[in-house]
Amino acid sequence: MPPFIIPSVVKFAVGALGVGVIVHSVMKEIRRINDELDRAAKGASIDPPRKTLRRDPRTGEWRVT
């Protein structure tokens, strides 16, 4: 017989506590990410249009437009 036997109720309680800690940590991280995204959306300014490269039909060189 093993020297130390853990009752099923204790195993269940420890497992439930562990799941609770994991869920709490995940929810905290989700809230942090959503807050960061909200702050970025509120403070975001309209970026100027991106510059693109176009080929000059006369010379064949690539130029920024």
Question: Could you give the C-alpha distances from 63 to 4, 26, 47, 56, in angstroms and in order?
Answer: 78, 49, 21, 7
Q: What is the pLDDT along the chain (65 residues), one digit of tens a residue?
A: 567 788 999 999 999 999 999 999 999 999 999 998 888 888 765 566 778 889 989 988 988 87
pLDDT of residue 43: 75
pLDDT at position 11 is 93
| Residue 1 parent element (H or E) | none
What distances in angstroms separate CA 3 from CA 7, 9, 41, one per listed residue?
Answer: 13, 18, 59
What does the alpha-carbon distance between residue 32 and residue 43 come to, in Å, rounded to a whole number? 17
- Structure token pair of residue 12: 């269940």
According to DSSP, the residues that pair with 63 across neighbouring strands are: 54
